[in-house]
Amino acid sequence: MSASVWPAVLGRFEWHALPFVRAWENPTLNELIGAGAAAIVVVGAIALIALITLLGKWRYLWREWLTSLDHKRIGIMYVVLAFVMLSRALVEAMLMRLQQATAINAPGVVDPEHFAQLFSTHGSIMIFFMAMPFLTGAFNYVMPLQIGARDVAFPLLNSISLWLTGGAAGLMMISLVVGTFSTGGWSGYPPYTELAFSPGVGPDYWIWAVTLGSIASTLSGLNFAVTIYKKRCPGMTLMRMPLFVWTTLCTSILMIFAMPPLTVATALLALDRYLGFHFFTNDLGGNMMNYANLFWLFGHPEVYVLILPAFGVYSEVVSTFSSKELYGYTSLVLATMAIAVLSFTVWVHHFFAMGQSANINAVFGIATMTIGVPTGVKIYDWIWTMFRGQVRFTVPMLYSLAFMMTFVLGGFTGIILAFPPLDYLVHNTLFLVAHFHNMLIPGLLYGMLAGYHYWFPKAFGFRLDEKWGRVSFGCWVIGFYLAFMPLYVLGAAGMARRTQEVFEPSFRPWLYVAGVGALILFGALASLFVQLWVSIRDREANRVTAGDPWDGRGLEWSTSAPPPDYNFALLPQVRGRDPFYDGKRDGDPYAPPPEYHPIELPRNSMTGPVLGIVGTALAFGLVWHMWWLAILGTVMIVATIIARSFARDVHRTIPVHEIERTEAHWLAAVAAARAIPRQLEMTPLNQGLAAVTR
C-alpha cells in the first residue's frame, strides 16, 4: 500500500534530494558546501520566524505590510527582496571566482555539476530576482509621487505582482534545500534543458520560477504605463514629466511587449518536458533556434528594461546635485524613446555565432552600433548639466560619475562585439562576460544604489550614513575593476566562459586578481548592510522630517519624509518641469490649502499574499510531479480570484480631521527646521529643509 501511496503524495521526491543527506553519505568539500548553503537558508528562515514571533510582530507585519496596497510599502518590500537575492547571488559569484582561481590543473572546490548550477542560479537571480525587483520597487515608490498621484492605477494588481515575484524568488531559495537547480545557464537553452539531457528537477525549477516572475513583470508594466497615462496631476503634461517618469514609461512598455515572448518560451519548454511535445527538440519537427529567437526577443529589450531606469535615476541625481536644470531635456526624452524602440531590433546579435547569413548578421550589427548613439546623447547631456553647476560629491553623485566612466568603457567593447566576425571569435569567452557585467553593474546596480541613497531619506525620514556609503562605493568600484577587467584579457586570450577547470597556467595571475575583486565586491555588500545598521542606530541625529534634504526639484520632495498614506493632501497643480524647485523660489510651497477634503484609498487585501503562496505551491507541485498539490493550487487560485470578485468593501476613507492633524504635524516640523545651505546637507543640521538660493 505504502509503495503506491508515497509516490502519489511525494511525486519524484526522495531523501537523496536533500543536500544534508548527500553530504552525510558523501562528505566531500563539494557536498559540504551545498549542505552549508542549504543550512543557511533553513536556519535563516527559522531565525526570522522566531524573531518575529518573539517580538510579537506578526499582526503588525500582516496588517501594515504584507497585505498593504500602498505603492510605497510595496516598493520597499520589492527593494528588500532585491537585497536578499543580491546577497545570495554575490556569494555564488565569489564561489565561482574561487573555483576558477583554485582549479588551474586541479579539481578546485566544487565539481562540474555544482559549478554549472552556480552560474545558472547567479545569472537567473541577478536578472530576474535582484534587478527586476529593485527597479520595480523604485518605480513603485517614486513614480506616483513624481506625477502627483495618490497611488498606482491598479493597487491590487500591484500587490499580486509583488507576491508572484516573491513566490518565484522563494522557488529559487527552495531549490537550494530540496533538489538541485538547472545547469542550463540563465537562458535555459534547449536541447540541453530538454528531458532527454536534463531529466532532473533543475530545469523545472528554472521554468516555473522564471514563468512566475515574467507574469509578475508583465502585470507591473501594464500597471505603471496606465498610471503614467491616466494618473498625472493637473498640469503634468508629458513634456513636464521628470526623466525618471519617462524612463519608467518606456521601461513599462518594454515589459509589456518583451516579457510575453519569455513566458511563451518557458511554457513551450514545459510542454516539451511534461507532455512530450517537440517544439525545441532535435527531432520530430522541433527547432532549437525557435527558442533562441523567442528568448532573445525578450532578452535584449530586457537589457534596456534594466538600464533605462538607471538612466532616469542618474538624470535626477545629476540635476539635483549640480543645482541645475537638466540640460537637453527634450533630447534625453527622445533618446530614451529611441533606445526603447531600437532595443527590439538587435536581438540576433546574441547569437551571431549560430549560423545566420552574412546579410542578416550585417543588418543586426548595424542596428547594434546605432543603439549606441542615443546612449551617447545621454552621457553628453549629463556632462553639460554638471558644467558650471554647484556639483556636490554625495554618494549618489559618486555612483553617477563612476557609471559614466565605466559605462563608456563597456560601450566601446559593445561596439567591438557588434562586428559579427569579431563577435564570432570571442562570443563564448570571458570577454563577453566582462562586457555584459561592464554594462549591467554600472548601468543597473550603480543606478539602483544611487537611487537607494538618494530617495532613502524620503522613504524613512532619515539620511543614510555618508561615511559608510563612501566605503561601500569605493569597494564597489575597485572591486568591479579588479573582478572584471582581467576577464577582458582572459577572454581575448581564449578562456571560455562557464569553465570549471582551467588548463592554461598563464591564466593564473589574472584569475587571482579577479578573485580578489570578487572579495572586495562582497566587502561592498557587507558595507551596505553596516551602513544601514549605523544609519538606523543614529537615525535621530539624521532626521529629515521636513522632507527636502537635497534641495530637490520634483514633487516627491514636496511632502513629509516619510510621506503620508495619501501622498498629497491636495493634488498639486504643475506649471513647469521642476515644480517644487520653482515653487521654493517663487513663493511658499508649504502653504496649506484653504480646506481639506476626505481622501479615499484602497483597503488592505490578502489576495496578493494568498495568490503568491498558492502560486508557489502550484509551481513546487509541478516541479516534483506532486499532481495533487498542483491541482489544489490551481483550484485555490481560481477560488481566490472568484472570492475577490465578490468583495465590495474595498476602499477606506481618511477623514478630514485625520488629514488636518497629519499635515499640521508636518508643517510644524517644517516651521521648526533650520534652512541649511547645500554645504551642510551631510551634517546633522540637515532636518530636511533646504535653504533657497536664487
pLDDT for 110: 94
- CB–CB of 475/530 below 8 Å? no
- Residue 693 resides in a domain: no
Condensed to tens digits (0 to 9), the pLDDT of residues 324-351 reads 999 999 999 999 999 999 999 988 888 8
For residue 253, tell me if it sits in a domain.
yes
Classify residue 89: in a domain, yes or no. Answer: yes
Q: What DSSP string describes 287-301?
A: -HHHHHHHHHHHHHH
State the Cα angle at 238 between 235 and 239, rounded to 5°: 95
Same domain, 30 and 157: no
Indicate the residue among 260, 276, 309 that finishes a domain. Answer: 309
**Share above pLDDT 90 across residues of the chain, in percent, rounded to a whole number:** 80
Number of neighbouring beta carbons within 10 Å of residue 341: 13
From 156-165, 166-175, 283-292, 483-492, the region with the lowest mean pLDDT: 283-292
Question: What Rg, from alpha-carbon coordinates, does the chain have?
Answer: 25
The domain of 293 spans 68-94+111-309
Q: Give me the number of domains the chain comprises.
A: 2
- Please say whether the beta carbons of 83 and 137 come within 8 A: no
Q: Are 525 and 87 within 8 A, CB to CB?
A: yes
Distance CA 305, CA 230 (A): 22
| CA 226 to each of CA 250, 577, 666: distance values in angstroms, whole numbers, following the listed order | 12, 21, 31
Residue 1 has pLDDT above 50, yes or no: no
- The CA distance from 516 to 500, in Å, is 18
Instruction: Examine the fold and report which residue of 255, 282, 309 is the final residue of a domain before the chain moves on.
Output: 309
d(CA 94, CA 92): 5
State the DSSP H helix or E strand holding residue 651, giving kind and residue range, or none if neither: strand 651-654
Mean pLDDT on 443-467? 95
Residues 201 and 239 in one domain: yes
Kindly state whether residue 405 falls inside one of the protein's structural domains.
Answer: no
State the pLDDT at residue 393.
94
Mean pLDDT over 438-461 rounds to 94
Domain check: are 33 and 159 in the same one?
no
- Supply φ then ψ for residue 688, to 5 degrees: 95, 20
Cα(42)–Cα(173) distance, integer angstroms: 10
Question: Whose CA is closest to 70, among 568, 648, 570, 604?
Answer: 604
- The CATH code of the domain that includes 254 is 1.20.210.10
Across 633-656, average pLDDT: 94
What pLDDT does 535 receive? 96
Q: Can you give the length of the chain in residues?
A: 694
Does any domain span residue 285? yes
Q: What is the pLDDT of residue 283?
A: 82
Query: How deeply is 519 buried, as exposed, middle or buried, from its count of CB atoms within 10 A (0-12, 13-18, 19+)?
Result: middle
Q: For residue 652, give the H/E element and its range.
A: strand 651-654
Average pLDDT over residues 156-176: 96
Show which of 291, 309, 327 is a domain's final residue.
309
Mean pLDDT along residues 656-683 = 91
Same domain for 86 and 49, yes or no, is no
